[in-house]
Amino acid sequence: MKKPKRLSPQFLSILLSGVIVFFGAYLIRGKVEVSKQGDSGLVLSPDEIRALPADTIPVVLHRVDSSYGESTLAYAMLKLIMAKSGVKYELGYSQSVSDSTRGGRDIAGSLEPSKSNPDGVNIMLTGLGSQGLAGLRATTVPVTGGLLGLRVACVNTLSADRFKNVYDLEDLKHFIAIQGQGWTDARILKQGGLPTFEVETTLTYNLLNEGRVDYFPRSITSVESECNSGDTQYESVTVDPYIHIVHPAAWIYYVNEKNQRLHDAVVAGFERAMKDGSYARLLKERIFTPWLKETLDFPNRRLLYVSTPLGDLLRDQVPSQYWLLPWDRLEKGEIKTGQDLCGYPVLEDLCGEE
């Protein structure tokens, strides 16, 4: 019987090196993918935070996904605000990616990089009225001035005309909306008496694409990327051409409740950006794309205002001068179509007026 051949030391060395290289590539795969999707130069690391002069405020924006850059509204608006604030600052994204719950917990954990806040993240953008934000303080700066409350119904192409005869909320109650599980929007729709089905976020468009629900209300900042059938995997999803479902909505910057310097800088910078017009210009640039203006036909849309306790709370939490939409007139029914809003600042651009 022949003895099995012994592997040479050189072969074993090559084999071991190959295994190490393969395993190492597997471990760093995620990091490589992240670097392809974003610009690592925009990250403000804990070591960089510690090296900042005492008179310079670190502004570390919570990062919710691996795709990030200067063009995101959260970053672009914060960059504008801090530039107008009059303080010395250093702006960057958090080093790690996490969900809003984890991000809020880290920000509340400490003002500087620590075990309870490894990245030193100190500011996040999330919906006003979100739950689980203990230890945080809202800046009451609505990043889009309430424009997020102009909800567009994404619908199935086979039933795109179903809302043609919807003129009020009573008409809309005959249809089933879909929302992500636990979303603030779902709470508002339900409080307004609108039948709403909550599911895991990843299932929303699948169900709409299959025609198993009637509509998916989305903000005007999302419809181009999500409901444009030519640019998404959901070929049967399109934009309803008839109505806007309107309710107070705001995305707000939150900071640690003890971070007075950053809080005051954000509020001061925002107010200056509003006064000099740079805030409105940024919104027009980021939100009112040619596709959106052409697709919405905003002046001819019917506006259905959803009045709820949560919506009232949001209106009370944000100073009235910060809102771009006249909630009182919408609630009273004095404003019924997009045309009625065309004379308001910023919105005239959506109407094709300058």
Whether residues 241 and 277 fall in one domain: no
Whether residues 70 and 197 fall in one domain: no
Whether residue 9 is contained in a domain is answered as no
Whether residues 119 and 260 fall in one domain: yes
Q: According to the model, what pLDDT value does residue 284 have? A: 87
Tens of pLDDT, residues 14-37: 444 444 434 443 333 333 333 333
Domain with 173 in it: 147-247+289-315+325-350
Whether residues 233 and 97 fall in one domain: no
Give the number of domains in the chain: 2
Whether residues 171 and 220 fall in one domain: yes
Whether residues 203 and 296 fall in one domain: yes
Task: Check: CB of residue 299 under 8 Å from CB of residue 337.
Answer: yes
Whether residues 52 and 193 fall in one domain: no
Whether residue 330 is contained in a domain is answered as yes
Whether residue 112 is contained in a domain is answered as yes
Query: Which one of 76-80, 200-204, 282-286, 312-316 scores highest in mean pLDDT?
Result: 76-80
Whether residue 18 is contained in a domain is answered as no
Task: Check: CB of residue 327 under 8 Å from CB of residue 151.
Answer: no
Whether residue 12 is contained in a domain is answered as no
Whether residues 128 and 214 fall in one domain: no
Whether residue 13 is contained in a domain is answered as no
Proportion of the chain above pLDDT 90, given as a percent: 55
- How far is C-alpha 304 from the chain's CA centre? 23
Tens of pLDDT, residues 247-264: 998 889 999 999 999 999
Whether residue 69 is contained in a domain is answered as yes
Whether residues 121 and 101 fall in one domain: yes
* Mean pLDDT on 109-121: 94
User: 106: which residues sit within 8 A by CB, 6+ positions away?
Assistant: 62, 98, 116, 117, 118, 119, 121
Whether residues 207 and 277 fall in one domain: no
Whether residues 333 and 217 fall in one domain: yes
Tens of pLDDT, residues 127-184: 776 555 789 999 988 889 999 899 999 999 888 898 999 999 999 999 999 998 888 8
* Mean pLDDT on 288-314: 90
Tens of pLDDT, residues 265-287: 999 999 999 999 999 999 988 88
Whether residue 35 is contained in a domain is answered as no
Question: What count of Cα atoms within 13 Å lies in the side-chain half-sphere of residue 282?
Answer: 22
Whether residues 235 and 206 fall in one domain: yes
pTM of the model: 0.77
Domain boundary among 263, 283, 303: 283
Q: According to the model, what pLDDT value does residue 337 have? A: 95
Q: According to the model, what pLDDT value does residue 331 have? A: 93
Tens of pLDDT, residues 220-236: 888 888 887 666 678 89
CATH of the domain at 161: 3.40.190.10
Domain boundary among 228, 260, 283: 283
